[in-house]
Amino acid sequence: MKTIGIRNNICIKNEKTTCGSKMLENFISPYNSTVVEKLNEAKIETQVINMKEFRIEEDEYIAEFFAKGTANTAILVDGNGEIAKKTTNGLIGLKPTFGLVSRFGVITNAPSLEQVRNHK
């Protein structure tokens, strides 16, 4: 079974969704985000990737996740294009439009900018 990493600001039912924040450290999502529902329908396993508090600039958590060898793909939220600008670790990103993947279940930093995206 394929495993895809999910950044910790995308809701996974019955999992902690903290956005790396102390304020949300005990928040357990009561529902799946749309993107997680679609992955579940496709029988794709998900695994949470940690993040800094409401930040997307860092690569170390993504690199650490991939280094474990459990997956080579991650679903992230790109608020300001920072992920797409990164070229470290040989990672390539795709950014779908608002219409392709619903943002339901994504905890956003800037709602008008956040989009679910695939990061390989």
Beta bridge pairs of residue 10 = 106
Q: What is the overall mean pLDDT for the chain?
A: 75
**Residue 37 neighbours by CB under 8 Å, 6+ apart:** none
Greater confidence (106 vs 80) lies with 106
Task: Identify the pLDDT of residue 37.
Answer: 93
First-to-final CA distance of the chain: 17
Model confidence over 49-101: pLDDT tens digits?
Answer: 888 876 655 567 777 777 777 777 777 776 555 555 554 555 544 444 566 66
pTM: 0.75
Q: What percentage of the chain exceeds 70 in pLDDT? A: 63
Instruction: Judge whether residue 109 has pLDDT over 60.
Output: yes
Distance CA 116, CA 120 (A): 13
Q: Where are the alpha helices (DSSP H) in 1-120?
A: 34-41, 60-67, 82-85
> How many CA atoms are closer than 13 Å to the CA of 97, on its beta-carbon side?
1
